[in-house]
Amino acid sequence: MDYNDTYEREIDLKELMFAVLRKWRLVLLFGLMFAVLFGGYKAVSVLRSNNEEAEIEHSEEVETYNENMESYEREIENLTRDIASQEEYMEKSILMNMSAYDVWEAKAELFIKADDWEENQGNDLTTTIMRAYQSALTSSELLSKIAEKMGVDRRYIQELVTVTTGRDSYYGDDELFNVTGGGFIVRNRQNNFLTVQVRYKDEDKAKELLNYFVEGGLEFQSQIQSSIGSHTISEVSSSVSSRIDFSLADQQNNESARLDRLRESLKTKTDEKEKLENPETSMVASPVSTGIKYGVIGGVLGAFMIVFFVCVGFVMSDKVYSAKELKYRFKVKVLGTLSAGETKMGKIDAWLRQLEGRVCNANMDHELGLISANICNHTNGMHSLLVMGTAQEELVNKITSELAGRLSGIKVIFGGDILHNEEGLKRLPECDGIILVEQCGDSLYSEVELEIERASDLQKPVVGCIVFE
């Protein structure tokens, strides 16, 4: 018999689930037992609330209550402050009060060139100078001066300006460029341009604000020359235009949404604080409600404990669980399945067996007829069959008798449990084929494997297996 010696069992979650469900009586019993124990114990404990231990518990609850109240008050205070700050920003911010569909954008380009540009190819020194101007144009010193001139807070000016290097419109490798003041320069791809861009609500203010930044930036020339190196800086172009700014619309929507979230959080915390205030005068728990609560916890714990042990048992057990597992593990044909228990069972058990695909309240005579026909289809040329297995001896005997009366022309021999029955083992060489009879929950996979090995040693083919599920 060829079977998989390297078979590794995979846990079938469906089988594991049904293994648990089939223990529903045990799960229910332990759930109810633990529910009564936990709920009853806690209810009795609450009834003894006048003793010293209950007083200590009450004091702890009061302390927890006070801590929670302080936490809510701090959170409400912080949220109130954040809302006020956000409302002030939304009201006073120039950017937030612009129309995103009519933004005036003023832009100037400054050309910067180090005096030793040709000697050092202008790269490192010019880059350092440009970074210095970029930092100066966004410094708190310059922003404060411009904010004072514009009559607004510095932070509202800061969010209106952008200082970048390079020119968005430049794509070539080299370009001959006329610098203000006379003369031409050749600009390479590293380009020496610094772009100052401002946004405002109207055209005149946009121009005014841009001029403040350009003039302020040029005032830093002497300072940067003394600290970094000699250079020239020239304004080479400027423009002003009106455009739709979708990014501004998104930013305004985000800030408005933030304010809404803060207000919603404040409402939530206020409501939670009010709910906490209500039970302040009745901190003592009710024995009934406490008993019910802990009864539920105990019931869940008891049920979980049984489920856990069932799962562990399923994983660790060597007992045959299903005909399907036998088929896949030993590559043996399943000739049919029968019910090992009563022919009639409870509705819940019957329903679970049907869901799992097991035999349920079936006509045994009919099932044996199908098994017999199946055997005939796989025993061409065989004259004798040995019925053996680790199922209960009475079941193996019953199957042997039934098959003997149904298989014409084939001698059916009772072998029983050949692993523990000397007489059955002696009959093994006499047969042409073997019928295994195994029982779920009783037979062991390791013993089935030994049975197949002994048959294989004598070159006796295993026709298939009849499984009592």
Please state which of the ranges 221-230, 241-250, 356-365 shows the lowest mean pLDDT.
356-365
* CATH fold label, 102-243: Alpha-Beta Plaits (3.30.70)
Segment of 244-253, 298-307, 399-408, 419-428 carrying the highest mean pLDDT: 244-253
Q: Which one-letter amino acid corresponds to residue 397?
A: N
The confidence band for 282, taking pLDDT boundaries of 50, 70 and 90, is very low
pLDDT in tens, 117-143: 555 554 678 889 999 999 999 999 999
- Whole-angstrom Cα distance, residue 96 to residue 98? 6
Does residue 89 carry a pLDDT above 50? yes
Please state which of the ranges 44-48, 163-167, 168-172, 416-420 shows the lowest mean pLDDT.
168-172
C-beta of residue 309 within 8 angstroms of C-beta of residue 345? no
Give the model's pLDDT for residue 431: 93
Q: Name which residue leads in pLDDT, 328 or 43.
A: 328
Q: Name which residue leads in pLDDT, 276 or 3.
A: 276
Q: Name which residue leads in pLDDT, 104 or 310.
A: 104
Cβ count within 10 A of residue 86 = 18
The confidence band for 8, taking pLDDT boundaries of 50, 70 and 90, is low
The confidence band for 95, taking pLDDT boundaries of 50, 70 and 90, is very high
Give the model's pLDDT for residue 175: 44
Does residue 187 carry a pLDDT above 60? no
Would you give the end-to-end CA distance of the chain in angstroms?
24
Give the model's pLDDT for residue 192: 85
Cβ count within 10 A of residue 63 = 10
- Whole-angstrom Cα distance, residue 159 to residue 142? 14
Cβ count within 10 A of residue 22 = 18
DSSP string for 319-366: B---HHHHHHHH---EEEEE-SS-SS--HHHHHHHHHHT---S--HHH
3 state DSSP class of 111: strand
Does residue 207 carry a pLDDT above 90? yes
Does residue 268 carry a pLDDT above 90? yes
Give the model's pLDDT for residue 366: 84
Domains of the chain, by residue range, sit at: 7-47+285-317, 50-97+246-282, 102-243, 319-468
The H or E element containing residue 103 is strand 103-114
What is the average pLDDT across 401-430?
89
The confidence band for 182, taking pLDDT boundaries of 50, 70 and 90, is very low
Structural tokens at position 332: 């043996």
C-beta of residue 111 within 8 angstroms of C-beta of residue 236? yes
Give the model's pLDDT for residue 389: 93
The answer to whether domain 102-243 and domain 319-468 are alike in fold is no
Give the model's pLDDT for residue 123: 62
Does residue 189 carry a pLDDT above 90? no
C-beta of residue 237 within 8 angstroms of C-beta of residue 169? no
Give the chain's mean pLDDT. 84
- Whole-angstrom Cα distance, residue 340 to residue 187? 94
Give the model's pLDDT for residue 241: 95
Cβ count within 10 A of residue 329 = 17
CATH for 319-468, among 1.10.3720.10, 3.90.800.10, 3.40.50.720, 3.40.50.300?
Answer: 3.40.50.300
* Residues 91, 96, 99, 105, CA torsion sign: positive
Q: Name which residue leads in pLDDT, 48 or 16.
A: 16
Give the model's pLDDT for residue 284: 53
Give the model's pLDDT for residue 305: 86
What is the average pLDDT across 390-401?
91
Does residue 332 carry a pLDDT above 80? yes
pLDDT in tens, 213-236: 999 999 999 999 999 999 999 999
Please state which of the ranges 44-53, 143-152, 225-234 shows the lowest mean pLDDT.
44-53
Does residue 281 carry a pLDDT above 60? no
Does residue 403 carry a pLDDT above 80? yes
What is the average pLDDT across 358-385?
84
What residues contact residue 27 under an 8 Å CB cut-off, 6+ apart? 20, 303, 306, 307
- Phi/psi for 338 (5° steps) reads -130, 160
- The percent of residues above 70 in pLDDT, for the chain, comes to 83
Give the model's pLDDT for residue 150: 92
